[in-house]
Amino acid sequence: MSPTDPAAPRIMVTIAASADRHDPEIARRRNELYPATLVRHGAEPIVLDETSTPAERTSAFAAMNALLLSGGADLDPSRYGRPGQGATDVEPGRDALEAEAWAASQARGLPVLGICRGFQAINVFSGGTLLQHVDGHIGASWGHGVAKTHPLRVAPGTRLARILFPTNARGGVLQVNTYHHQGVRAADLAPGLIVNAWASSPAGDIVEGLEAADGRFLIGIQAHPERTESTPAAFERLFAVFVDAARGPLRRR
């Protein structure tokens, strides 16, 4: 399906403002992976960063059929009522954009997918907190070397397990990339969310996947599945199911 097809679901994607990054060209290429992945699965992306105008935001919130919160810098700890204890390179302007987009998506009951920072944002916006530094989970940044990886244990019976292991909902273990230095412990998890994936760390087991307990399409994954060179092919099903979920609000129109 072409992204210009009127039947294509429109998915809002929040990204970092690439011009503000240390390496704007790398940031631009990294940002482009998100909409390219959605187009590959038949969606039409609506891409915004913190420089977007109020009018652009209002238009995107009204038009979107789903929301993708992408990766990036740390959330400001004040968002979850904590002092800075390891958070670096925060982006308050992006936090504000994503909080607005989150509120709009929840008001309309839209599907939401969060990746890395987006996974953490879902937890924070839902009332949870973050561990502001996790040793050993970040390697070379994207575009500057081979990805660091670790095993991801997908919890049996979860929606994520059914997506990634469609013939065996008992879950399993996949090797995923790891580009984060913050995380979510069981005690940090927001009400209304359940854990669908775990990974080991020096801080103990940490949550690396979450989803809504009530069955809504609300999934967060700490890894970066849009970076296909370091991601198991099974994650293409996650994007396919997400885009299909976005067609639900479109059909209701």
Active site residues: 116, 224, 226
Q: How far apart, in Å, are the Cα atoms of 61 and each of 125, 130, 135, 194?
A: 17, 27, 37, 27
User: Rg of the chain's alpha carbons, rounded to an integer?
Assistant: 17
Report the alpha-carbon distance of residue 222 to residue 178 in Å, rounded: 8
In the DSSP assignment, the letter for residue 99 is H
What are the residues whose beta carbons fall under 8 Å from the beta carbon of 17, sequence distance 6 or more?
Answer: 49, 50, 51, 93, 94
Q: Is beta strand 112-115 parallel, antiparallel or unpaired with respect to 206-212?
A: unpaired
Question: Residue 173 class from Cβ within 10 Å (0-12 exposed, 13-18 middle, 19+ buried)?
Answer: exposed
Residue type, 238: L
SS (H, E, C) 197-250: EEECCCCCCEEEEEEECCCCCEEEECCCCCCHHHCCCCHHHHHHHHHHHHHHHH
Q: Which two tokens stand for residue 216?
A: 């809504």
What are the residues whose beta carbons fall under 8 Å from the beta carbon of 187, sequence distance 6 or more?
Answer: none
End-to-end CA distance of the chain: 19
Contact predicate 174/154, CB 8 Å: yes
